[in-house]
Chain A
Amino acid sequence: MTVAVKDIRTEEMLLNMGPQHPSTHGVFRVVIRTDGEMVLESESHIGYLHRCFEKVAENNNYLQVVPYTDRMDYLCAMANNLGYAETVEKLAKIQVPERAQYIRVIATELNRIASHLMAFGTYGLDLGAVTPFLYAFRDREMILKIFEKLCGQRLNYSYIRVGGVTFDITDEILADAQRFCDYFDPVIIDEYDRLLSYNGIFISRTANVGVLPVDLAISYGVTGPSLRGSGLKRDLRKDEPYSIYNRFEFDVPVGTGEMGQLGDCWDRYMVRIREMRQSVRIIRQALKDIPPGDFCEKKAFRGVKPPKGEVYHKIEGARGEVGFYLVSDGSVKPYRLKARGPSFCNISVLDALTSRGDCMVADMVAIIGSLDIVMGEVDR
Chain B
Amino acid sequence: MALSRPEIHAIVKERFGDGVVEDHPEARDPYIVVKPEILEDLAFFCRDEPRLRFDLLSSITGVDYPDRKMIEVIYCLDSTPSKHWLIAKVLLPRDDPRVASVEKVWRTADWHERETFDLLGVNFEGHHNLVRILCAEDWEGHPLRKDYVMPETYRGIKNVIY
Interface residue from B28, B58, B111, B148 paired with A323 (Cβ < 8 Å): B58
Indicate which residue in B80, B110, B112, B136 contacts A232 across the interface (CB closer than 8 Å).
Answer: B80
> How far apart are the CA atoms of A216 and B56 in the complex, in Å?
11
A223 vs B108: C-alpha distance when bound (angstroms): 12
Q: Is B10 an interface residue (CB 8 A)?
A: no
Cβ–Cβ < 8 Å partners of A338 in chain B: 59, 61, 74
Interface residues of A in 178-196 (CB under 8 A from B): none
> A63 at interface (Cβ–Cβ under 8 A)?
no
Nearest CB in chain A to that of B55: its residue: A218
Q: Mark B60-78, 1 if CB is under 8 A from A, else 0.
A: 0101100000000010100
A218, B56: Cβ atoms under 8 Å? yes
**With an 8 A cutoff between CB atoms, is A110 at the interface?**
no
Decide yes or no: A348 and B63 within 8 Å by CB, A46-B134, A219-B55, A312-B29 being known contacts.
no
Closest residue of B by beta carbon distance from A335: B63
With both beta carbons as reference points, the residue of chain A lying nearest to B145 in the complex is identified as: A55
Q: How many residues on the A side are at the interface (Cβ–Cβ under 8 A)?
A: 37
> How far is A321 from B58 in the complex, measured between Cα atoms in Å?
8
CB of B119 within 8 A of CB of A379, answer: no
Q: A281 on the interface (CB 8 Å rule)?
A: no
Contacting residues, chain A, for B133 (C-beta < 8 A): 46-47
Among A223, A239, A344, A380, contact of B83 (Cβ-Cβ < 8 Å): A239
Within 8 Å of chain B (Cβ to Cβ): is A240?
yes
Question: Contact flags (1/0) for B31-60 with A, using CB distance below 8 Å?
Answer: 100000000000000000000000111110
Given the known interface contacts A312-B76, A323-B58, the answer about A240 and B83 at a Cβ–Cβ threshold of 8 Å is yes
B57 near A221 with CB under 8 A, answer yes
Name A313's closest neighbour in chain B (CB-CB).
B29
CA distance A271 to B56 in the complex (A): 21
- Alpha-carbon separation in the docked complex, A323 to B76 (Å): 10
Partner of B28 from the list A216, A219, A311 (CB cut-off 8 Å) is A311
- Whether A220 and B107, one on each chain, are in contact in the complex, defined by CB atoms closer than 8 angstroms, is yes
CB distance from B130 to the nearest CB of A (A): 15
User: What's the minimum C-beta distance from A345 to chain B, rounded to whole angstroms?
Assistant: 5
Which residues, 238 to 264 on A, are CB-close (under 8 Å) to B?
A: 239-240
Interface pair B134/A50, CB less than 8 Å apart:
yes
B80 touches A234 (CB 8 A): yes
Q: Would you call B28 and A325 a contact (CB within 8 A)? A: no
| Contact for A327 among B57, B59, B63, B111, CB less than 8 A | B63
Q: Which residue of B lies closest to A47 (CB)?
A: B134
Nearest chain B CB to A217's CB is how many angstroms away? 9
**Closest partner residue, chain B, to A338 (CB atom):** B61
CB-contact partner of B74 in A47, A325, A345, A348, under 8 A: A325
Any A CB within 8 A of the CB of B143: yes
Q: Does A361 contact B (CB under 8 A)?
A: no
Q: B104 CB to closest chain A CB, in angstroms?
A: 10
Answer whether residue B135 sits at the interface, using C-beta atoms and an 8 A cutoff.
yes
Nearest-neighbour CB distance to chain A for B118, whole angstroms, equals: 8
Interface: B87 (CB within 8 A): yes
Q: Which residues of A contact B (CB under 8 A)?
A: 46-47, 50, 52, 54-55, 90-91, 216, 218-221, 223, 232, 234, 239-240, 309-312, 314, 321, 323, 325, 327, 335-336, 338, 340, 344-345, 348, 352, 379-380
Name 6 A/B residue pairs within 8 A (Cβ), A-sorted. A221-B58, A309-B29, A310-B31, A312-B76, A325-B74, A336-B61
